[in-house]
Amino acid sequence: MAPILYKVDASPPSNAIRILAEILGLELELRDLDFGTLEHKSTGHLKLNPMGTLPTLVDGDFVISESHATMKYLLSVYGGDKSEALYPSDVRTRALVDQAMFFNVGIFFIRLKVIVLPAIFGDLDGPTEKHRADIDEAYGVVEAYLADHAYIVTDHLTIADLSVGATTIAMQPLHKLDPARFPRTAAWMARLEQHPSVKKILIPGTKILGEIVNGAWQKNKKL
């Protein structure tokens, strides 16, 4: 039975998991929750994921949330011979993949979330100067990670690129990165955008996110 992924199309961490599944050739049963009516905070979903966030994965009798942990789980169970490239076993390389993923969980994605949720559920009518400065600072971290390699940690794609890449690409309709200031990040993003699964999943998801958030900003400006 295919693992079930609770998600919405506009969710960058959900999309990182879906891209990983495509790379692995793993079929997922996709189930949308209605974010607008807070279905992710419903009793039923909170039983699966007490954080009340998306994505949530149900694999038989096993339930896991938090996309970065979920990606590692999927690789352990379904990664096969693709695991080594996507999450290298060399201790230092793996530590650097983890470093970038923790940066994404703790810093980068939060800087997206604080301009998205208060727009949809509150009265935020656009990113403030502080929001923009914080996002630029995070772009600067990605730029530094890319100093020596074509991808975040090595010269090939790892799950760090999927997580950090999902946030970076999703951020573009909200606060575009300046390619003159972050040239390596712009080139890496262009490289990721050529990937068939990124084209199929993340680009349309990002368009939806951009429309939702820009629409909410416009609506809130009229309040």
Closest approach of ligand GSH to the CB of residue 180, in Å: 29
Among 18, 40, 131, 175, binds ligand GSH (CB under 6 A): 40
Rounded Cα distance between 165 and 44, Å, is 31
Neighbouring CB atoms inside 10 A of 157's CB total 21
* 68 binding ligand GSH? (CB under 6 A): yes
Closest approach of ligand GSH to the CB of residue 155, in Å: 25
Please list every residue from 80 through 109 that binds ligand GSH, using CB under 6 A. 105, 109
- Looking at beta carbons only, is 7 or 195 nearer to ligand GSH? 7
Among 3, 13, 88, 127, binds ligand GSH (CB under 6 A): 13
Closest approach of ligand GSH to the CB of residue 191, in Å: 22
- Looking at beta carbons only, is 45 or 195 nearer to ligand GSH? 45
| Selected range binding ligand GSH among 9-17, 23-31, 73-81, 211-219, rule: CB under 6 A | 9-17
| Selected range binding ligand GSH among 64-72, 78-86, 94-102, 125-133, rule: CB under 6 A | 64-72
Among 66, 98, 125, 143, binds ligand GSH (CB under 6 A): 66
One DSSP character per residue, the chain reads: -PPEEEE-TT-HHHHHHHHHHHHHT---EEEE--TTTTGGGSHHHHHH-TT--S-EEEETTEEEESHHHHHHHHHHHH-GGGHHHHS--SHHHHHHHHHHHHHIIIIIHHHHHHHHHHHHSS---S--HHHHHHHHHHHHHHHHHTTSSSSSSSSS--HHHHHHHHHHHHHTTTS---TTTSHHHHHHHHHHHTSHHIIIIIHHHHHHHHHHHHHHHHHHHT-
- Looking at beta carbons only, is 55 or 88 nearer to ligand GSH? 55
Site residues (vs ligand GSH, CB under 6 A): 11-13, 40, 52-55, 66-68, 105, 109, 113
